[in-house]
Amino acid sequence: MAEGKIFTEKVWIIMIISTLIAFTVILGVLAEAISYTGPSAVCPVKYVELNEKIKPGVKQLSLGVYEVTIIGRQWAWTPNNITLKNPRKIIFKVASEDVLHGFEIAGTNVNVMVIPGYVAVITWTPPKDMEGTYIILCNEYCGIGHQSMYGTLTIVRG
């Protein structure tokens, strides 16, 4: 009985350890495969320099490659409605002027915290067949108007 118990214990412990190692490896490989990088940052951006360093707007860097700079403040994104034609790659730079915000394009993989003083930079490759209008919303509580902080991203193909 006692021996059986120790055996079961051992099997279980080996299972736990190998599962966790497998998770770590799979995670690393996956991250490598999709060339995952976490959001990087332009930082620190002092409160007084924000408006001079960050100019909201859409720039086309080369064919299909866009740089979209957005400022979040209570309770709107600027710019708020963005239309992009045949985007291949989009670099988002998102800054906050006041409190934490969360920049999410609903139904996509775009989801990043927007922290005052730390301009979030992420690169997104939208799926080739993706088109239509998506909600850009704020997913971090930023005050009582939080729910009205949203806009749209429209992707046009053709």
Partner 1 sequence: MVDNFNKEDRFSRISILFSFVVLAVGGLFGIIQLLNRTPYFPKFIDASTYYLVLTGHGVLLAIAWTAFFIMGVGVILVTRETGLGVNSFLLNLSLILSLIGTLMAAAAILSGNATVLYTFYAPLYAHPIFYIGAALLIFGTWIYAVAIFQVYLRWRKLNPGKGAPLATLGVVTTLIIWLEATPILVIDVLKNFIPMSIYKMPVDALEARTLFWYFGHPLVYFWILPAIAFWYYGLPRLLGTKLFSVKMAKVAYILFILVSTPVGLHHQLVDPGASDIAKFIHVIFTYVVASPSLLTAFNVTATLIKAGRERGGKGLFGWIVKLPWDNPIFAAIGFSIILFGMGGISGIINASYVLNYVVHNTIWIVGHFHLTVATAATLTFMGASYLIIPMLFNKNIKSVYLARLQPYLWFIGMFIFSLAYHIGGVFGAPRRTYDVLYGGLIPKEWIYTLGIGAVGGIVFWVSGVIFIIQMLLTLSRGTRLSKQIDIKFTPMDYEVSRPSILDRLGIWIIIAALLIFIGYSIPLYDLYTRGLAPYPPISPFGGKV
- Please report, as ranges, the residues that interact with Cu ion according to CB under 5 A: 101, 138, 142, 146, 149
Q: Where are the extended beta strands (E) located within 9-149?
A: 40-42, 57-62, 65-73, 76-78, 81-85, 89-96, 101-105, 111-114, 119-124, 132-138
Those residues whose C-beta lies under 8 Å from the C-beta of residue 87, and which sit 6 or more positions away, are 64, 65, 66, 126, 155
Distance of CA 84 to the CA centre of its chain: 18
Q: Candidates 52-60, 64-72, 83-91, 119-127: pick the segment binding partner 1 (CB under 8 A).
A: 119-127
Secondary structure element (H or E) that encloses residue 10, with its range: helix 2-33
Quick one: tokens of 128? Answer: 């080739």
In the range 93-112, which residues lie near partner 1 by CB under 8 A?
98-100, 102, 104, 106-112
- Nearer to partner 1 among residue 41 and residue 91 (C-beta): 41
Among positions 12-31, residues that touch partner 1 (CB under 8 A) are: 12-13, 16-17, 19-20, 23-24, 27, 30-31
Helix (H, G, I), strand (E, B) or coil at 26: helix
* CB nearer partner 1, residue 74 or residue 86: 74
Interaction site with partner 1 (CB under 8 A): 5, 8-9, 12-13, 16-17, 19-20, 23-24, 27, 30-31, 34, 36-41, 43-47, 74-75, 98-100, 102, 104, 106-121, 133, 135, 137-148, 150, 152
